[in-house]
Amino acid sequence: MGSARPSARVWRPETPSQPSVNWILPEGASLDLEGISSPLQVLRGLGGGTQGQVFEVEVAGERLALKWYLPACIARDPHLERRLGESIRATAPSDAFLWPLALVKSSQGAVPLLRRGEPSFGYLMELRPTGFVGAHEHVGGHLAIGLLQVLRASFFLAEAFHALHLKGLCYKDISLGNLFLEASSGRILICDNDNVDVDGRDLGSVLGTPGFMAPEILMGRARPGANSDLFSLAVLIFRLLTRHDPLRGRRELAIRCLDEPARRRLYGEEPLFIFDPADPSNRPDPIEHVAALITWPIYPEPIKQLFEQTFCTGLQAPQRRALTGQWMAALAAALDQRQLCASCGQETFPAPSDPAPLCWSCGCPMPPPGRLLLPHGQVTAAPGNELHAHHFDRLLPLRLNQPLARVEAHPSDGDLLGLRNLSGQSWQAELRTGNRLMVEPGQACNLAPLVRITTPAGAVELPS
């Protein structure tokens, strides 16, 4: 007995080189799985949780990620396989989702190779590209990121849920844990799309994550769907924009031990928005909740109104929560009015109608900026601001991922602003002198002497 493994009973410490994770799929193995025609090679384990483990794999020369479920997870969620199959057939709502590409199941021959010897299944998806980090890195203050990128990320998040909801689907379990950001661009990726379901059908077991769940879900009055997604989306946008929680104000300070019953009270039984205009009793504490107090004044009124809509009236009225399209419009408009403070250089978002705006950061008065007037809207002339197709045609959907032009500072004279042609077509610029010049794709033109730029998409007017 035990002669083959004589040392098994000795408490020999694991050597430091030994990985401490026990991968269900053996690294290096080649597995024949149902659902794909080529063998799948397990390259390495990437991570694991209570649901399952994620591996980097190679299938027919292509590197992909494989999420493989633990049998206990499948047992808790009997419709998981069916939902995944339907999601795969429905295809990704947008490229912001690391969407399931194919369902793979352990075949008879592969089961003995699995560490636990139990049949299971998983799904293939794209690998998360380098450069994307967990959104918790931003909320925890570990990520160097600008307000421009944070607002863009919020827009992309709303846009992704817009596309998902338009497909008749809902996500059910948005939280910081499923969101990844690219700090340099604000692009996002949404992971863990395995709870996605047809809205209203409720073929799933997940309820959500406390802190992000709508009160009616936490309290068991409703099941998750598109309306509860809207609540979770607003929480996530609030967390991105403020690095704070929308419901944690003074009421949280009365709680000594923040455990499940306490979270239930904060988020379900007695939720109150920290900036509720009608009830100030849950305002942020000036010491404990300083992040909310510093960041809230940064944002334009329409964004604040959407938070109030969702966290005040919409708290108990799910159908009155701000919609994905409203978020997209408010966030895109905020980006259009982004202006750099002449004194401190900080990014500010004064409304064009504000006669005497002050910088939220240093308090200095902000002189009126140069503006680019477009057929549909206006964009402040500040480095980094972009013109998009929807600025020229109000029938086009709001999109930020294919800018036609970007305001840039001259590389050696930062005070000199130009507009770079990011489109594939030539522009004609008209100078105050009446002269005209061509701005070819990739070129930038100095804005100071211009009155108008004519592009194939439409005209950009520069009022003096």
Q: Hey, which residues between 204 and 263 contact other proteins (CB under 8 A)?
A: 205-211, 213, 223, 239, 243-245, 248, 253, 255-261, 263
SS3 453: strand
Q: In angstroms, how far is the first alpha carbon of the chain from the final one? A: 92
Instruction: Output the six-digit token pair for 290.
Output: 């300083």
Closest CA to 361 of 408, 438, 427, 297: 297
**Dist CA 231 CA 236 (whole Å):** 9
Alpha-carbon dihedral 445, 448, 451, 454, rounded to 10 degrees: 10
CB of 146 to other proteins, least distance (A): 6
Q: In one letter, which amino acid is 282? A: N
CB of 349 to other proteins, least distance (A): 12
Of the listed pieces 100-108, 156-164, 199-207, 393-401, which binds other proteins according to CB under 8 A?
A: 199-207
CB of 176 to other proteins, least distance (A): 8
Residues 134-173 contacting other proteins, CB under 8 A: 134, 136-142, 144-147, 150, 173
CB of 347 to other proteins, least distance (A): 5
CB of 315 to other proteins, least distance (A): 19
What is the β-pairing status of strands 386-387 and 444-446? unpaired
Residue 12 is a binding residue for other proteins (CB under 8 A):
yes
Residues 39-68 contacting other proteins, CB under 8 A: 49-50
SS3 298: helix
Among 83, 152, 289, 390, binds other proteins (CB under 8 A): 289
Residue 116 is a binding residue for other proteins (CB under 8 A):
yes
Closest CA to 157 of 224, 237, 85, 78: 237
Among 185, 305, 361, 454, binds other proteins (CB under 8 A): 361
CB of 45 to other proteins, least distance (A): 13
* CB nearer to other proteins: pick between 213 and 303: 213
Among 98, 181, 298, 462, binds other proteins (CB under 8 A): 298
CB of 195 to other proteins, least distance (A): 8
Of the listed pieces 8-16, 36-44, 154-162, 365-373, which binds other proteins according to CB under 8 A?
A: 8-16
Instruction: Output the six-digit token pair for 447.
Output: 């804005």
Residue 443 is a binding residue for other proteins (CB under 8 A):
no
Neighbours of 195 (CB within 10 A): 21
CB 462 within 8 A of CB 452: yes
CB of 418 to other proteins, least distance (A): 20
Residues 340-359 contacting other proteins, CB under 8 A: 340, 345-347
Q: Give the rounded distance of the alpha carbon of 105 from its chain centre.
A: 30
In the sheet that holds 436-439, the strands lie side by side as 377-380, 371-374, 458-461, 450-455, 427-431, 436-439
Instruction: Output the six-digit token pair for 154.
Output: 């919020």
Let me know if 440 is exposed, middle or buried by CB neighbors in 10 A (0-12, 13-18, 19+).
exposed
Among 63, 76, 82, 221, binds other proteins (CB under 8 A): 76
Residues 375-404 contacting other proteins, CB under 8 A: none
* CB nearer to other proteins: pick between 15 and 464: 15
Residue with tokens 């939902």: 83
* CB nearer to other proteins: pick between 96 and 213: 213
